[in-house]
Amino acid sequence: MTQSRPSTQTTPAISVQDVRFSYGSREAVRGLSFEVARGEVLGFLGPNGAGKSTTIKMLTGQYRPSAGRIELLGSDLARHREELQGLIGVCFEEKNLYPSLSGVEHLRFFARLHGVKDLDSEALLERVGLATRGRDRVAGYSKGMRQRLMIARALVNDPEVLILDEPSDGLDPVSAQTIRGVIREQAEGGCAVLITTHDMWEADALADRVAFINEGKLFALDTPEGLKLAFGKRSVRVRVRLASGEVAERVVELDGEESAEKLAQATRGGELLTIHTDEATLEDVFVRMTGRGLA
């Protein structure tokens, strides 16, 4: 059976509607709803045990929700699981690779499982910076190389939905940058990307929108900028050398109509040394909203 692309371009690529899941009597996901458009990167943020991994397992068809509905590319995941699994790419948090197989053998194996007939494994490995190590066995790969191979494996079927669980966790800057570049390219090509990460800077840089999840519930869903503006503190820190030679530091709150005047006053009365914005980070926003950190 040839795989079809069942939805139109306007249908959300991922649509999660009031989804719940329980491990016995413990409810891990409690009425979660969100959407991800084609070409969008959604950062899925939350502390350990917030329900991120459970949500990912439901989105990849490993778990069936106890309530609610998940649609991928306009089709019900519960009813069209196999067809939809052929259209998604998944990168797990664990480095679940076969140490005795080479990079090329990994890609060929997963291409067979996806029914891909014309895989260009060399090009795919080139994309993630593993072109020269493709024939080597994974046992000899570094952590960063393994992670890049996992990204390549997730792309083997040219997915329309890409689900990435902590894709750059603990990686060196070069590997992390390579991975971010690939994710961005996929999104630009129309792929919907859902990414979980603990790295607030990465979420800020990569994600078009960010979803905060805690205790199985969605707390906020907006662009990083929108969240920071809505929930973060906005202020400017000014350092001035006074006539007496003393250095004074002044913090100007930017809330209110008189912000510009306050800032102008703060810079007067001495030699202006530095001005720094005290922009809130996503972590600040998260802590303010949930009362707990992301660790």
Partner 1 sequence: MKRAIPSRPALVAAIVRKDLLEFSRDKLWVALTAMALVMFVVIFWLLPDRVDETIRVGIVPSGLASALQQLALADDEVGLEVIGFSDEESLRAAVAGEADGGPEVQVGLALPEAFVVRVATRQDVTVRVYVDAAVPREVRGAMTSAVRELALMLSGAPLPVTLPEGDVIVLGEDRAGDQLPLRERLRPLLVFFVLITESLALASLIASEVASRTVSAIVVTPARVADLISAKGLTGTLLALSQALLLLLLTRSFVGNVPALLLALLLGAVLVSGIALLTGSAGRDFMSTLFLGVLFLIPLMVPSVALLFPGSASVWVQVLPSYGVLQALVGASSYGRGVLELIPYLASAAAWAALVFALGWFALARKVARA
Q: Which residues bind partner 1 (CB under 8 A)?
A: 1-3, 60-62, 82-83, 85-86, 88, 90, 92, 94, 96-98, 100-101, 105, 109-110, 112-118, 137, 153, 157-158
Q: Are strands 247-253 and 235-241 parallel, antiparallel or unpaired?
A: antiparallel
Degrees, nearest 5: CA angle 283-285-287: 70
Q: Residue 108, exposed/middle/buried by CB under 10 A (0-12, 13-18, 19+)?
A: middle
User: Of the two residues 111 and 294, which places its CB atom closer to partner 1 in the complex?
Assistant: 111
Cβ atoms of 160 and 88 within 8 Å: the answer is yes
**CA dihedral (65, 70, 76, 77) positive or negative:** negative
Least distance (Å) between residue 97 CB and partner 1: 7
Cβ at position 115, least distance to partner 1 in Å: 4
Gyration radius of the chain's alpha carbons: 23
Least distance in angstroms from the C-beta of 105 to partner 1: 7
Q: What is the spatial distance between Cα 283 and Cα 188, in angstroms, rounded to a whole number?
A: 27
- Please state, in angstroms and rounded to a whole number, the distance separating the CA atoms of residues 83 and 62: 14
Three-class SS state of 147 = helix
Q: How far is the CB of 66 from partner 1 (least distance, A)?
A: 15
CB 194 within 8 A of CB 162: yes
Nearer to partner 1, 158 or 222 (CB): 158
Q: Identify whether the C-beta of residue 219 lies closer than 8 Å to the C-beta of residue 246.
A: no
Nearer to partner 1, 121 or 290 (CB): 121
Closer to partner 1 by Cβ: residue 36 or 294: 36
Residue (115 or 293) nearer to partner 1, CB: 115
Q: How far is the CB of 13 from partner 1 (least distance, A)?
A: 16
Query: By C-beta, is 40 or 165 nearer to partner 1?
Result: 165
CB of residue 199 vs partner 1: minimum separation in angstroms?
22
